[in-house]
Structure 1
Amino acid sequence: MKEDKLSQSEGRFAELIWQHEPIPSGELVKLCEKELNWKKSTTYTVLKNLCEKGIFQNQQAVVTALIKKDAFYAKQSRRFVEDVFGGSLPRFLTAFIGGRKLSDDQVDELKRLIDEHKEE
């Protein structure tokens, strides 16, 4: 992915594509007019930018994702932990929890995730 950060408007636009893909570009224009109050030119400009970032493609007037939503946000999350916490997941979790107590279910889920991803 060339760029993994989206502006607020790009994020709303990306969500529309992920929810409706594959979507004909003409339908996307109508959807953006209804949902975002965008003109046709705005839709195509933002689509072009996100295609250049390697997130979507517009081939034969059909828009599809090159990167699925979960993969995109996973990469964003990893980048955040790298940039803010030096890549330390324990430091991130400590900051995220911030003195709150975890429920037994949350503790069990975290333990399960750790066991699933533990190096052998």
Structure 2
Amino acid sequence: MVDTNLGAVEARFADIIWQNEPIHSRELAKICGEELNWKRPTAYNVLRKLCEKGIFQNNQGIVSSRISRQDFYGMQGEQFVEEAFEGSLPAFVAAFTARKKLTDGEIRELMGIIQREEGKSARERADMARKEGR
């Protein structure tokens, strides 16, 4: 299981890996020195921690992701909704929109997502009915 709890610095480090993968650990340490002002041991220690969390892997000095950035942040969002809103996405959206007005573009984008999901659900129901011989 992937541990999605990252501090701000760990998240920045993870983004560096996602932007440059696959990357040699020496090159990663060099980039972290330039962008985060880290010494090499710091980069290696944080890399080890993120590998232990199941996010990245380091095979013979080549660092790559075990989970994509999009999937990682999706899991993090899902965990937040579960913990803060008892798993209710509508409750999350209601709380979010009570504080921030959605733009017309955001509304269209959300409607598109909902329509795609409705289409998936209809196909899944039809597939299940076919399998059951209905």
User: What TM-score comes out, normalization by structure 2 length?
Assistant: 0.83
Larger radius of gyration: 2
The share of aligned pairs that are identical, in percent, is 48
When residues 81 and 40 of structure 1 are mapped into structure 2, their CA distance, relative to the original with a 3 A threshold, is same
Describe the shift of the 1:39–1:78 C-alpha distance in structure 2 as closer, same or farther (beyond 3 A): same
Shift of 1:2: 3.1
1:31 matched residue in structure 2: 31
Q: Which residue of 2 aligns with 1:84?
A: 84
Query: In the alignment, residue 6 of structure 1 is paired with which amino acid?
Result: L
CA deviations over 1:30-76 (Å, ceiling 9, x no partner): 10111111111111110000001110011111100001100000000
Q: Determine which structure has the larger helix proportion and give its number.
A: 2
Following TM superposition, the consecutive aligned residue runs of length 4 or more in structure 1 with deviations greater than 4 angstroms are none
What residue in structure 2 maps to residue 74 of structure 1? 74
Count of residue correspondences: 120
> What is the RMSD of the two structures over their aligned residues, measured on CA atoms?
1.4
- Distance in 2 of aligned mates of 1:47 and 1:58: 8
CA distance in 1, matches of 2:45, 2:101: 46
Gaps of 5+ in 2: 123-134
User: Per-residue displacement from partner, 1:72-110 (whole Å, max 9, x unpaired)?
Assistant: 000000111111111111111111111654444333322
Distance 1:89 1:24, change over 3 A: same
The answer to which structure, 1 or 2, has the higher relative contact order (CA under 8 A, 6+ apart) is 1
More displaced, 110-119 or 19-28? Answer: 110-119
Deviates more, 1:18-27 or 1:108-117: 108-117
Unaligned runs of 5+ in 1: none
Distance 2:57 2:110 in 1: 36
- The structure-2 alpha-carbon separation of the partners of 1:98 and 1:23, relative to structure 1 and needing over 3 Å to count, comes to same
